[in-house]
Amino acid sequence: MKKQNLLSMLVIAAGFTFFGTSCTTTESNAATDAALTTTATDEAQAASLSDVVINVADANINTLAANGYSIPQAVKGTFDTSVMTITIDKPDSTNFPKIITIDYGTTGYIDSRNDTLKGKIIVTISGKLWKSGSTKTIRLVDFYVNDNNIKGVKVITDNGLNAANDPSMTEDVSDTIIRVDKSTIIRNSTRTRVRIDDNGTPKIFWDDKFSITGSTSGINAKGVAYTVAITNPLIIYNNYKFFVQGTITITTQSRSAILDYGDGTKDNKATLTINGVTKNIKLKN
């Protein structure tokens, strides 16, 4: 009898141990999945906000270059509109480096993407655009997108034309994004950005379409480190605030999630897949 009781107790104890371990594992996985979801939404927002700066700088600088860095309304290299003030230290097409300041003021301007922009984007251009090796260095002064404060430096190196005869550039980006709720996202990325379509308007740059590849490392708003690999090229337009296509794999705490931006439709929808389970998320910036 004693042997039977002892055996029964061991079986029961083993059952409790398995149950306790199973619960702990389930709770741990749930916590990690929640962290992955947080990281994915943080990265999606931060990447979108960061790209706003690049899109604005790209479209404005290309427009200025197409006009020889001299606008008819310019007075001493500066012209004012109801939108912004742009200052060019060398308003000509021959002298480099040149510094261009795009100032949206402090009250806020709502652009074509329905983003509210404030502050200054300062771009230093080392040489003629699309000349291989030329750089555009972007710095920000009190710059906000929808009241999210964007800090950091972006160095864009022109690669000239790729094998498909499309303009290509390498982006080395260091971002610190202080969101409206004062939480902070830090991210560093190296990406290749290729203009794949000018929409049939070679002298209008706001509707250009880009393909982006590369990788990112960062720290989400909860202080958790993560990495990102672009597994299918991200597609974005200069005049639209969100990526419309492409997938990324986000890894944090030894687990991964796949963020899918969709089929190319311009919307604020994406899907997030964790451990085979897919859910819909809304993009924001």
- Which H, E and C letters describe the chain, residue by residue? CHHHHHHHHHHHHHHHHHHHHHHHHHHHHHHHHHHHHHHHHHHHHHHHHHHHHHHHHHHHHHHHHHCCCCCCCCECCEEECCCCEEEECCCCCCCCCEEEEEECCCCCEECCCCCEEEEEEEEEECCCCCCCCCEEEEEEEEEEECCEEEEEEEEEEEEEECCCCCEEEEEEEEEEEECCCCCEEEEEEEEEEEEEECCCCCCCCCCCEEEEEEEEEEECCCCCEEEEEEEEEEEEECCCCCCCEEEEEEEECCEEEEEEEEECCCCCEEEEEECCEEEEEECCC
The pLDDT score that the predictor gives to residue 23 is 47
pLDDT tier at 71, thresholds 50, 70, 90? low
Which range of 13-27, 28-42, 103-117, 216-230 scores highest in mean pLDDT? It is 216-230
213 φ, ψ (degrees, to nearest 5): -130, 165
Tens of pLDDT, residue by residue over 87-142, are 999 999 999 999 999 999 999 888 888 899 999 999 999 999 888 999 999 999 99
Comparing 33 with 276, which gets the higher pLDDT?
276
pLDDT at 8 over 90: no
Question: What type of residue sits at position 173?
Answer: V
Question: Which residues, listed in sequence order, are joined to residue 214 by a DSSP beta bridge?
Answer: 191
Is 60 exceeded by the pLDDT of residue 168?
Answer: yes
Task: Answer yes or no: are the C-beta atoms of 226 and 217 closer than 8 Å.
Answer: yes
pLDDT surpasses 60 at 22:
no
Residue 112's pLDDT is what?
82
CA 148 → CA 51, 121, 221, distances in Å? 13, 15, 13
pLDDT tens readout for residues 213-237? 999 999 999 999 999 999 999 999 9
Residue 80 has pLDDT above 80, yes or no: no
Query: In this structure, what is the dihedral angle of CA atoms 55, 57, 58, 59, given to the nearest 10 degrees?
Result: 80
Q: Give the model's pLDDT for residue 254.
A: 83
Higher pLDDT, 132 or 19: 132
- What's the one-letter identity of residue 168? S
Least confident segment among 22-26, 111-115, 141-145: 22-26
Cβ 183 vs Cβ 221: under 8 Å? yes
pLDDT of 25 higher than 80? no
Res. 13: pLDDT tops 60: no
| pLDDT at 285 (0 to 100) | 87
Q: To the nearest whole number, what is the mean pLDDT of the chain? A: 87
| Residue-range domain boundaries for the chain | 36-282
In this prediction, residue 269 carries a pLDDT of 96
30-34, 44-48, 171-175: which range is least confident on average?
30-34
